[in-house]
Amino acid sequence: MGELILDISELKTNFYTYEGVVKAIDEISFSLEKGDTLGIVGETGCGKSVTVLSLLQLILPPGKIESGRIVYKANGKRINLLEQSEPFMRNVRGNEISMIFQEASSALNPVLNINTQVSESFLLHRQKELCESVLENLSERVDKSKRFSRLFLRCLNYRYKKKLRKAENNLLKHGHYGRLIKKDAKRLTIDLLASLGIPNPSEVIKRYPHELSGGMQQRVVISMALACNPNILIADEPTSNLDVTIQAQILDLIEKLKGEYKTSILFITHDLGVIAEIASKVIVLYAGALVEFAPVRELFKNPLHPYTKALLNSVPKLERRERLESIRGNVPNLVDPPAGCRFHPRCPGVMDICRSSKPEQIINRTHGGQVHSVACFLYRNTKAWYEN
């Protein structure tokens, strides 16, 4: 087992709405290995987005993270993100852990051009580097210039030296960056877009989101997330509204990045086909509860939880021409979720105990020694359940 970069335990988030308390996620525990890709699957509304938003503490009132631990390991230090201050978290967001969102068209601000939006990532997290490069550039120009413009450059130099003091701690505020720093960030933005295979980046950055195609918009959104080479990339259904060819291109892009930068990835989708392609391990969520965790091959070959089985059965397969099975019943209302196992009203193998108590995660190992766990009473007495 590799080194854990993220270890989440018993994370619980509620929304206090007028209809009542929405128990969106209920004591979810999982972990992400360094350089690995973990898939998160589940139907719409099962709490996938809330889970990852909670990780970065992006949940706004009426939502509240009730309890749990999010241990993030970087530079040899282990820190519980839930205990950190807001300024600390701001430094983590988009810098060490960044996110790609579902709909690129709504994730981009319609009234700002691409440059303003992408370079914002650099301006927020690379202030020191930008400032230093500006100063270096200035001192070069001072050496070459004539007396009069030299005076002007000296003044500029003085201004940016003052900025550097703040920039060292990333304390430059919006509106105080200065023209030269913005110009330098623009240069980085062009390089970044070029490295993501966007043709003609110096033209593209002048455009507004509505002037780009859907695939291009998603690339821009990805570029914002990758600007600062994050340790962890969270992708929340990044391909669900794109057509198949563009979807494949985006997946290729993410694969390539993973190979290049050893980024650890949390990949959310409701598309099991995509999961099979990109993830190495998978967690399955149902109605805010984690029901199964397994390596991806294992999950497809040997699903244990009745919900996972039903989910896999609802996926069309080329070699199987039988009718698609849909899961009977409805996704429960999370204001008043079913007691015990949240899946019990829809479960074909429901037992008495399922209605009263909550199933624990039962951990077992596959033949290869990998962890496969499931939260279901069907497996409470069996040790070698994966062998049947």
Ligand X SMILES: Nc1ncnc2c1ncn2[C@@H]1O[C@H](COP(=O)(O)OP(=O)(O)O)[C@@H](O)[C@H]1O
Contact partner at residue 350 from other proteins, ligand SF4, ligand X, none, CB < 5 to 8 Å by partner kind: ligand SF4
Listed ranges 40-48, 197-205, 262-270, 370-378: which one lies at the site for ligand SF4 (CB under 6 A): 370-378
> Amino acid identity, residue 143?
D
Shortest separation between residue 32's beta carbon and other proteins, angstroms? 17
What is the distance between the alpha carbons of residues 327 and 314, in angstroms, rounded to a whole number? 7
Q: Which tokens go with 148? A: 């009069």
Q: Is 151 helix (H, G, I), strand (E, B) or coil?
A: helix
Helix-helix angle 127-144:114-125, to 10 degrees: 100
Of the residues 15, 30, 72, 101, which one makes contact with other proteins according to CB under 8 A: 101
DSSP letter (8 states) at residue 301: H
Site for ligand X in 47-76 (CB under 6 A): 47-50, 63
Is the Cβ of residue 209 or residue 303 nearer to ligand SF4 in the bound state? 303
Whole-angstrom CA distances from 30 to 27, 195, 247, 253, 266 are 10, 33, 27, 26, 11
Contact partner at residue 189 from ligand X, ligand SF4, other proteins, none, CB < 5 to 8 Å by partner kind: none
Residue 49, number of CB atoms within 10 A of its CB: 20
Contact partner at residue 306 from ligand X, other proteins, ligand SF4, none, CB < 5 to 8 Å by partner kind: ligand SF4
What is the distance between the alpha carbons of residues 65 and 58, in angstroms, rounded to a whole number? 10
Residue 27, number of CB atoms within 10 A of its CB: 16
Is the Cβ of residue 42 or residue 209 nearer to ligand SF4 in the bound state? 42
Contact pattern for other proteins over residues 44 through 63, marking x by CB under 8 A: ------------x-x-----
| Cis preceding linkage at 62, omega within 30 | yes
Residue nearest to ligand X (CB): 49
Is the Cβ of residue 210 or residue 317 nearer to other proteins in the bound state? 210
DSSP letter (8 states) at residue 47: S
Strand order in 63-74's β-sheet? 20-33, 4-17, 63-74, 77-80
Size of the site for other proteins (CB under 8 A): 33
Shortest separation between residue 102's beta carbon and ligand X, angstroms? 8
Shortest separation between residue 337's beta carbon and Mg ion, angstroms? 18
Question: Contacts from 315-320 at CB under 8 Å and sequence distance 24+?
Answer: 315/272, 315/273
244 touches 109 (CB < 8 A): no
36 touches 264 (CB < 8 A): yes
Size of the site for ligand SF4 (CB under 6 A): 14
What is the distance between the alpha carbons of residues 367 and 344, in angstroms, rounded to a whole number? 30
Q: Which tokens go with 271? A: 């598309």
Listed ranges 43-51, 190-198, 290-298, 380-388: which one lies at the site for ligand X (CB under 6 A): 43-51
Shortest separation between residue 58's beta carbon and ligand X, angstroms? 11
Contact partner at residue 349 from other proteins, ligand SF4, Mg ion, none, CB < 5 to 8 Å by partner kind: ligand SF4
Whole-angstrom CA distances from 213 to 44, 197, 247 are 26, 14, 13
Shortest separation between residue 303's beta carbon and ligand SF4, angstroms? 12
Contact partner at residue 45 from other proteins, ligand X, ligand SF4, none, CB < 5 to 8 Å by partner kind: ligand X
**160 sits near ligand SF4 (criterion: CB under 6 A):** no
Residues lying near other proteins in the complex (CB under 8 A): 56, 58, 90-95, 98-99, 101-103, 106-113, 120-121, 124-125, 173-175, 208, 210, 221, 224-225
Residues lying near ligand X in the complex (CB under 6 A): 15, 17, 22, 24, 42, 44-50, 63, 334
Residues lying near Mg ion in the complex (CB under 5 A): 49
